[in-house]
Structure 1
Amino acid sequence: MPARSFVTARQARVGAEVRKLRERSGRSIREASELTGIAQSKISMMEAGRVGVSAVRVRHLASQYACDDVALVQALVAMATERGNGWWEEHRETVPAGYMNVAELEHHAVELRTFQTVHVPGLLQTEEQMRGIFASSVPSLSVEQRDARVRFRLRRQEILGKVAYQAVIHEAALRIRAADNKVARDQLLHILEQSERHQVTVRVVPFDVDGLAGISTPLVYATGPVPQLDTVLVDTMHGGAYLDAEAQLNRYRAILRTIEGMALDAVESRDFIHHLVQQT
């Protein structure tokens, strides 16, 4: 099987989990090769996500590595044997690869939790809000590039109502304007409308809450079928960083608990946003 020319974040994750199974067993790649009969180069390629891993091979490796976590192995088998391209593949030529990785992450999540400090979460943005944000991109985007990104983000929003979604939004993100007063007001009203949907929860952290300075990084926490397959997507100026090490997951679980403890509850948050609408 030839190596993949492009490795998605999810394919890389499958390989990383296979590597974790080996590392937990305390074996080097050379030792794993001797144990399993698989060439060292093939093991390296699988662990890098450069080649696929069959269901049979996942089970074989898990057995040889003495992994008795049945739920984890079954979840890895499901990930490794996914067939067909998601809707995002239709956009591969028009949007950055990172956009497709986000859509794929959302599509496979059991639950999505996000904390945003500067921008309204993409899944809750109006079309005009998106256009205002993309219009201010540096470097500048062409009209065609902005249109493609808007279409893609609108398509991503179809996940709402299909998966549990919890958004904690700092007041700053609600007040920072992407365009004019009308766009800002419509955006707030849209958040209120979306917050009434099944499985969608919106909570606000007001300016007057203390203790947030050290945990202000925007992030998305995607819950997987088993806790080991949870993923944290941290937003940076250079793109999204995908985190999945056990220590990292535990850290961001704790961060989200702290943030959610600071936020207004869902009813108070709607009242807060209604008040902002009246001021806009």
Structure 2
Amino acid sequence: MSVNATFFLSSTVDKCIYNGASIDANDLTANGNLCAYVEGVNRVWACSAPDRVCWTYSQTCKGGDSTTPDDSQIACSSNGDEWCCTENDECTRTPGQINICWGLWRNPVFNMSSSEALVYNQEHYSTLASTTTSAAASTSTSPPATNAAEASSAASASASTTASASASSQATAEAGSSSLSTGAVAGIAVGCAVGGIALAGLAGLLIWRRRKRSGSGATPQWANDQSAVEPKQSGSEPLSHELHTDNQLHEADGSPVYFQQQQGGTPPKSSGTHELPGQRYP
């Protein structure tokens, strides 16, 4: 009959406990500290090095009396003593031994020394809580180390790998911290430079606006220039209008010019005063 056992490290000194089932096992902790259970069966087994098998105690017979097994049990006897084991066990083969059952699977630490078993079990199995079935256990069938040197080498390699991973993680963290510090310093420097440029630009703008205001109230240069040309009406024509050449002089009747033009003679001499019609002088 093939049985799939699950192995785990004990969390209690010299004792295997799982899901309410427990057994005491002398020197279990010193000899590898390995236990086993079978899913669906309320029993545990101790797997001490260098034993060939994992073992547990007998079970109360359920066939109707103290020595008769039921369909899920087997009957065992030695030196006149009788007991029952489960169908996942076989009766002990050690002469003179009673009330002991052997599991139907090979002990992973068979033929190992205590130190080899401790190293191997630490690498391949995990500790289960004593009162829960939810914790994970290993059912690894990897062949055990054959000697102490091989087991120690495996342990050293594992420790070296762990140390290398830790050092790499620390270096990565330090590099990230250094990069962050440099970035922060660069950000501050850029911020200061941009702020300085902004202040300089604002100061320049204020000075330019002040100069513009003071220059807008000054007298234009053309207003102080005496040699400036008079403004013209339009185009290049002067504002004054010349009289027609045919009648350059226009005098009122009675003036010397008028008399000369009308009578054809020499006008009478005058003292220089010309009266207009209706004008009287005192």
TM-score band by shorter chain is under 0.3
Q: Highest Rg: 1 or 2?
A: 2
Between 1 and 2, higher relative CO (CA 8 Å, sep ≥ 6) is seen in: 1
TM-score w.r.t. the length of structure 2 is 0.19
TM-score w.r.t. the length of structure 1 is 0.19
> Which protein has the bigger helix share?
1
